[in-house]
Amino acid sequence: MIDESVVAGTLSEALKTGGEFAEVFVEDRRSSSALLDDGKVEELSSGRTRGAGIRVVVGDTTGFAHTSDLSEAGLAKAARAAASAARGGGGGHQVVALDRVDAPAPQEVQVLPETVAKATKVELLGRADEAARAAGSAITQVSARYADGRRRILVANSDGLLAGDDQVRTRFAVSCVAVGDTGMQTGFESVGRPIGFELFDEYEVDALARTAANRALTKLAAQPAPSGSMPVVIGPGGGGVLFHEACGHGLEADLVAKQASVFRDRVGEQVAHPEVTLIDDGTMAREWGAYAIDDEGRPAQRNVLIENGVLTDYMWDLLRARKQGRESSGNGRRQSYQHLPMVRMTNTYLANGSEDPADIIAATDRGVYVAHLGGGQVNTATGDFVFGMSEAYLIENGEIGPPIREGNLIGNGPEVLTGIEVLGNDFAMGSPGTCGKDGQGVPVGDGTPTLRVASMTIGGTAA
Amino acid sequence: MNPEELLEIAERIVGWGRDGEQIEAVVGHSQETDVRVYEGEIESLSVAESQGVGVRVIANGRQGFAHAGTLDTDVLEETLAEARDNAVFGSPDEFFGLAEPDGVAPPELDLYHEALLEVSTEAKIDMALELERAVQAGDPRIVGVESADYGDAVGADAIATTTGIRSSGRDTSCYLTAYSLASENDETQTGFGFSVGREPGTLDVAEAAADAVERATRMLGATQPPSERVTVVLDPFVSAQFLGIIGGTLSGEAVLKGRSLFADRLGDQVAAAGVTLVDDPTNPEAFTASDSDGEGLATRRNQLIGAGQLERFLHNSYTGRRSGSASTGSAVRGYASTPGVGCQALSLVPGDRTPDELIAGIDNGVLVQGVSGLHSGVNPVSGDFSTGAEGLRIRNGELAEPVREITIASTLQRMLLDVAAVGSDLTWLPMSSAGVTLVVAEVTMSGA
């Protein structure tokens, strides 16, 4: 992607005014997408961006500059700009010797999407449209999107690290509108993996489209969501996002260091039910948040955050880890070369429990069953969170009852952890997601088994 | 790069067009500085320059698009070739077509302030440090400032098409923002404050700091109330977020594709009589004011709801043509996407009573000062919404104790009809809609 001697020279340039640490991050990204909406293939779009971000650290100050000019001169200019932002006392000549170490890819890509004919990608859209419309005459609108991306990165720093990764991701999503007597409802389903076009050997877009259509159709019969506090059962794979938001973010070392986390100073404490084990794992080969190396060149790893209910560790990026004299946990990520890395999750999940999920529902007299949560957000300092329920049902007398209309679910992260009463033995990963911390989007995965929380507040309109 | 240079690049791409082809080139460039300080030190200082180009090709009734993050000649040629190839695989649509000059003159707006370029990096750092100190000193219960930032951007863009559009412009913007932490009796709450402008001299450190302090401290001691149906007063920051979502349902694209709850309702009374909703990017008061839209047409004032009656949807060239009308100058986009349709500077026409006067008339209610998860909790197609909220109880016409961990829920349709009063305090915010105090009757508040 770029010559090794140029990278070394850029690092030397960055350290000339006394920086303690310098890093060059080079990225070359290609993307393509195709959108079908309203029965027509509206558009194929292709994108290409490449550039480098350079940071220089002096004390607690980071200087950062980025450029789309990858020539030796362009990189040197950016290096000087980053260095001037973080000016140190010393200076002088420093030679950086780079040692290339590449981590193995989580999974070999079999069919690079860029080698697949555009017509083949477009054909998937038509099939999805047809399958969704065939699911019921109440389906009045369908939109389907195919997207692939290839992101090649190279990271080098003044510690001598040199590493690269070639990240391929492929995704397909279907969204439907159904119209009935009660108005319009929507249904959505998506699949995405860090693999190539072989994704479609595993997933039939027709089935995906039917799932989206059925979600919309089901909701036509939905009644208003209840309001107030009640037990909530979360279905397998449908609620991992809750633990990503409500617990995961509070375990990011940058937020902990700034006292913006309710989990500060709680390592070693029992924070959840003894059966609760929360893991962040960037090595899960087939999951959306996986990679070989993070955006600071550190190999992805499996990090146990909560083990048997006890808080074991936070997640770390390079700078936070250096300050503590420890190793990064492979969680330093950034949206693109135009952004500074920070602590980010990968694939975050609650490990499997032991209960039969049917028994969990049967033992719930009245409550809400959430099959699928939508987006949400958390205030990491207080732990308060809010989530949309995109597919949910009432539980009445130990049975899953009628669907309920969309509404929010609110609660508090630490309270939910202690409020988990029982975990099922039916663990599943959820849909591919994008985490948007501090305005930077990165791909993440999540998962849970069926579980019941003693009480959460449902924000519906019914009494 | 200045707008003239960008327009020259856009024209060069358009000049490569072949017979029977329509080509649109959008070129952008920006320079940004971002400073973040923490505990009296610079945590990070970023200086960045970025650029990009987007090319749309329409040929044989089909549309293709490509974009790139550099402006080298070989990249421009490759991007056009890619867009052209993409067009082969789209479905034909008789309504595809680029914007054409429509004779509307762009408004004269003062969006580019040279003064921003003359401010030194040191002065920008000092503003961020001053903000951090002001938040810290604002109240003894402030225990930390998670971040205090100064940021600015100088942007320029240009659009050229084979249909005769030539548009270019530039603007400056800057902001200060702080996230604060307040603590009392083992309880922590967070707040934020900001100030935005077109040059640093107009930024108000004291105001940003005071907001950050107030938002963090006012929720200390808040409790979760029981569920109840109450009158809700939305403060300007909250009402602006709701308006933005309502604005989205009035896009011609949502209407044409059967995704708007207001389709087929033109001329109907969709809101209370006190509601007049206008999208006006020509208003110089709006931070999102702009003289031209994402297709290079002049922006214009569009009244969407007049005295509660639905009057108009917003359109870009495609949705305007397809619905048998014309663009309302409402194409929104970046260089990396084709134009969508959206509000650019939406506001309610203010009423004549102040927030205090409105609150004085409410026996039992909640002043909502913050919402969370609004986007995940609103279905803009069905209109159902439910959002996390916090604020102050209103009892017998006076503000009372703080409440948190509540949700408020209704439908967008219901809420518009239930608007009991619009305040006089129109406030422009750094988003595409302005806020105003809004009283909404009969909303379900869920709590314990």
pLDDT tens digit sequence for B273-314 = 999 999 999 999 999 999 999 999 999 999 999 999 999 999
The verdict on B377 touching A (C-beta cutoff 8 Å) is yes
**Cβ distance of A177 and B407 shorter than 8 Å:** no
Q: Closest approach of chain B CAs to the CA of A82, in angstroms?
A: 7
- The stretch B92-112 carries a mean pLDDT of 97
| Neighbour-count burial of A12, counting CB atoms closer than 10 A to its CB (0-12 exposed, 13-18 middle, 19+ buried) | middle
Q: What ipTM does the predicted assembly reach?
A: 0.90
Statement to judge: residues A279 and A196 lie in one domain? no
The domain total for chain B is 2
Q: Which of A184, A228, A260 is facing B446, going by the closest CB pair?
A: A228
Angle at A23 between CA A20 and CA A24, to 5 degrees: 150
The domain boundary, picked from B217, B240, B261, lies at B217
What distance in Å separates the CA atoms of residue A228 and residue A459, rounded to the nearest whole number?
7
* Strand-pair category, A161-180 with B166-184: unpaired
Statement to judge: residues B203 and B281 lie in one domain? no
The domain boundary, picked from A220, A241, A256, lies at A220
CA quadruple B206, B209, B214, B215: dihedral sign: positive
Q: Closest approach of chain A CAs to the CA of B433, in angstroms?
A: 20
* Position B140 pLDDT exceeds 80: yes
End-to-end alpha-carbon separation of chain B, Å? 57
The verdict on B302 touching A (C-beta cutoff 8 Å) is no
**Cβ distance of B446 and A457 shorter than 8 Å:** yes
Query: How many of the other CB atoms lie within 10 Å of CB of B19?
Result: 5
Statement to judge: residues A121 and A53 lie in one domain? no
Statement to judge: residues B209 and B334 lie in one domain? no
Query: How many of the other CB atoms lie within 10 Å of CB of B147?
Result: 20
pLDDT tens-digit profile of A270-294? 999 999 999 999 999 899 999 999 9
User: For A81, which residue in chain B has the nearest alpha carbon?
Assistant: B47
What distance in Å separates the CA atoms of residue A172 and residue A150, rounded to the nearest whole number?
15
Kind plus residue range of the DSSP H or E element containing A131: helix A118-134
Identify the pLDDT of residue A220.
93
The verdict on B95 touching A (C-beta cutoff 8 Å) is no
Statement to judge: residues A293 and A356 lie in one domain? yes
Question: With contacts defined as CB-CB under 8 Å, which chain B residues touch A386?
Answer: 372-373, 376-377, 387-388, 407
Question: With contacts defined as CB-CB under 8 Å, which chain A residues touch B337?
Answer: 45
Q: Which residues of A331-370 are buried (b: 16+ CB within 10 A; e: fewer)?
A: bbbbbbbbbbbbbbbbbbbbbbbebebeebbeebeebbbb
Helix, strand, coil percentages for chain A (3-state, nearest 5): 25, 40, 35
Partners of A435 in the beta sheet?
A: A442
- The stretch B9-21 carries a mean pLDDT of 97
Tokens 């490449």 label which residue? A50
Three-state secondary structure call for residue B76: helix
The verdict on B78 touching A (C-beta cutoff 8 Å) is yes
Statement to judge: residues B314 and B197 lie in one domain? no
Residues 6+ apart with CB under 8 A from B348: B239, B243, B275, B276, B277, B278, B422, B426, B434, B436, B438
Q: Which of A185, A340, A375 is facing B44, going by the closest CB pair?
A: A340
The verdict on B50 touching A (C-beta cutoff 8 Å) is yes
Cβ proximity of B262 and B250 under 8 Å:
yes
Strands of B11-97, DSSP E: 21-38, 41-59, 62-68
A108 within domain boundaries: no
* Position B342 pLDDT exceeds 70: yes
Helix, strand, coil percentages for chain B (3-state, nearest 5): 25, 40, 35
Question: With contacts defined as CB-CB under 8 Å, which chain B residues touch A388?
Answer: 373, 376-377, 386
**Cβ distance of B189 and A228 shorter than 8 Å:** no
What distance in Å separates the CA atoms of residue B67 and residue B73, rounded to the nearest whole number?
13
**Cβ distance of B382 and A405 shorter than 8 Å:** yes
Statement to judge: residues B64 and B31 lie in one domain? yes
CATH number for position B57:
3.30.2290.10
| Neighbour-count burial of B103, counting CB atoms closer than 10 A to its CB (0-12 exposed, 13-18 middle, 19+ buried) | exposed
**Cβ distance of A68 and B144 shorter than 8 Å:** no
Cα-flanking dihedrals φ and ψ of residue B221, to 5°? 85, 5
| Neighbour-count burial of B329, counting CB atoms closer than 10 A to its CB (0-12 exposed, 13-18 middle, 19+ buried) | buried
**Cβ distance of A459 and B338 shorter than 8 Å:** no
The token duo for B213 is 């302090």
User: For A223, which residue in chain B has the nearest alpha carbon?
Assistant: B384
A159 within domain boundaries: no
**Cα dist from A325 to A303, A318, A321, whole Å:** 18, 10, 6
Statement to judge: residues B332 and B445 lie in one domain? yes
The token duo for A325 is 């004299």
Statement to judge: residues A196 and A231 lie in one domain? no
Question: With contacts defined as CB-CB under 8 Å, which chain A residues touch B189?
Answer: 381-382
Q: Closest approach of chain A CAs to the CA of B107, in angstroms?
A: 32
CA quadruple A294, A195, A53, B154: dihedral sign: negative
The token duo for B309 is 């009656």
Q: What percent of chain B has pLDDT over 90?
A: 93
Statement to judge: residues A56 and A86 lie in one domain? yes
User: For B29, which residue in chain A has the nearest alpha carbon?
Assistant: A68
The verdict on B153 touching A (C-beta cutoff 8 Å) is no
Q: Closest approach of chain A CAs to the CA of B105, in angstroms?
A: 31
* Strand-pair category, B41-59 with A433-435: unpaired
Statement to judge: residues B183 and B243 lie in one domain? no
- The stretch B244-253 carries a mean pLDDT of 95
Question: With contacts defined as CB-CB under 8 Å, which chain A residues touch B444?
Answer: 227, 460-461
Q: Which of A60, A186, A411 is facing B382, going by the closest CB pair?
A: A186
**Cβ distance of B373 and A376 shorter than 8 Å:** yes
Question: With contacts defined as CB-CB under 8 Å, which chain B residues touch A186?
Answer: 379, 381-382
Tell which B residues from 338 to 357 touch A, by Cβ distance under 8 Å. Answer: 338
Q: What percent of chain A has pLDDT over 70?
A: 98
Query: In 3D, which of A173, A345, A335 has the Cα closest to residue A243?
Result: A345
Tell which B residues from 19 to 38 touch A, by Cβ distance under 8 Å. Answer: 38
A145 within domain boundaries: yes
User: What tens-digit pLDDT sequence spans chain A (463 residues)?
Assistant: 788 999 999 999 999 988 899 999 999 999 999 999 999 999 899 999 999 999 999 988 999 999 999 999 999 999 999 998 776 555 555 667 788 777 777 778 999 999 999 999 999 999 999 999 999 999 999 999 999 999 999 999 999 999 999 999 999 999 999 999 888 899 999 999 999 999 999 999 999 999 999 999 999 999 999 989 999 999 999 889 999 988 999 999 999 998 889 999 999 999 999 999 999 999 998 999 999 999 999 999 999 999 999 999 999 999 999 999 999 999 999 999 999 999 999 999 999 999 999 999 999 999 999 999 988 888 888 888 998 898 999 999 999 999 998 888 989 999 999 999 999 999 999 999 999 998 999 999 999 999 999 999 998 887 5
Cβ proximity of A421 and A233 under 8 Å:
no
Query: In 3D, which of B248, B139, B406, B16 has the Cα closest to residue A228?
Result: B406
Statement to judge: residues A244 and A297 lie in one domain? yes
Identify the pLDDT of residue A183.
84
Q: Which of A49, A59, A382 is facing B190, going by the closest CB pair?
A: A382
The verdict on B162 touching A (C-beta cutoff 8 Å) is no
Statement to judge: residues A332 and A242 lie in one domain? yes
- Range(s) of the domain holding residue A21: 4-32+44-100
pTM of the shown model: 0.92
Kind plus residue range of the DSSP H or E element containing B12: helix B3-15
Helices (H) and strands (E) in chain B, counts: 10, 18
pLDDT tens-digit profile of B406-421? 999 989 999 999 999 9
Statement to judge: residues B294 and B175 lie in one domain? no
The domain boundary, picked from B157, B185, B217, lies at B217
The verdict on B227 touching A (C-beta cutoff 8 Å) is yes
Confidence bin at B186 (pLDDT 50/70/90): confident
Query: How many of the other CB atoms lie within 10 Å of CB of B14?
Result: 23
Statement to judge: residues A274 and A351 lie in one domain? yes
Question: With contacts defined as CB-CB under 8 Å, which chain B residues touch A374?
Answer: 376
**Cβ distance of B48 and A66 shorter than 8 Å:** yes
Statement to judge: residues A234 and A357 lie in one domain? yes
Statement to judge: residues B285 and B359 lie in one domain? yes
Statement to judge: residues B144 and B82 lie in one domain? yes
Best mutation target, A36, A264, A440, A461, to test chain B (most B CBs within 10 A): A461
Amino acid identity for residue A162 in this structure: L
Identify the pLDDT of residue A377.
84
Helices (H) and strands (E) in chain A, counts: 10, 23
Statement to judge: residues B297 and B209 lie in one domain? no
Tokens 């350290």 label which residue? A15
Identify the pLDDT of residue A334.
98
The verdict on B165 touching A (C-beta cutoff 8 Å) is no
A306 within domain boundaries: yes
Statement to judge: residues A264 and A407 lie in one domain? yes
What distance in Å separates the CA atoms of residue B333 and residue B58, rounded to the nearest whole number?
18
Q: Which of A260, A408, A457 is facing B387, going by the closest CB pair?
A: A408
Cβ proximity of B415 and B374 under 8 Å:
no
What distance in Å separates the CA atoms of residue B419 and residue B413, rounded to the nearest whole number?
11
User: For A140, which residue in chain B has the nearest alpha carbon?
Assistant: B258
Statement to judge: residues B361 and B252 lie in one domain? yes
Kind plus residue range of the DSSP H or E element containing B15: helix B3-15
* Strand-pair category, B41-59 with A61-67: parallel
What count of Cα atoms within 13 Å lies in the side-chain half-sphere of residue A110? Answer: 8
| Neighbour-count burial of A42, counting CB atoms closer than 10 A to its CB (0-12 exposed, 13-18 middle, 19+ buried) | buried
Question: With contacts defined as CB-CB under 8 Å, which chain A residues touch B376?
Answer: 374-377, 386-388, 408
Statement to judge: residues A391 and A438 lie in one domain? yes
Partners of B41 in the beta sheet?
A: B38
User: For B258, which residue in chain A has the nearest alpha carbon?
Assistant: A141
Question: With contacts defined as CB-CB under 8 Å, which chain A residues touch B259?
Answer: 141, 177, 184
* Position B446 pLDDT exceeds 70: yes
The domain total for chain A is 3
A157 within domain boundaries: no
User: For B91, which residue in chain A has the nearest alpha carbon?
Assistant: A41
The domain boundary, picked from B160, B188, B217, lies at B217
Question: With contacts defined as CB-CB under 8 Å, which chain B residues touch A126?
Answer: none
- Range(s) of the domain holding residue B118: 3-217
**Cβ distance of B446 and A227 shorter than 8 Å:** yes
Best mutation target, B384, B404, B406, to test chain A (most A CBs within 10 A): B384
Question: With contacts defined as CB-CB under 8 Å, which chain A residues touch B224?
Answer: 457
Confidence bin at B423 (pLDDT 50/70/90): very high
**Cβ distance of B257 and A459 shorter than 8 Å:** no
Question: With contacts defined as CB-CB under 8 Å, which chain B residues touch A370?
Answer: none
Statement to judge: residues B201 and B249 lie in one domain? no
CATH number for position A87:
3.30.2290.10
Q: Which of A44, A49, A66 is facing B89, going by the closest CB pair?
A: A44
User: For B182, which residue in chain A has the nearest alpha carbon?
Assistant: A381
DSSP letter at B435?
B
Identify the pLDDT of residue B136.
97
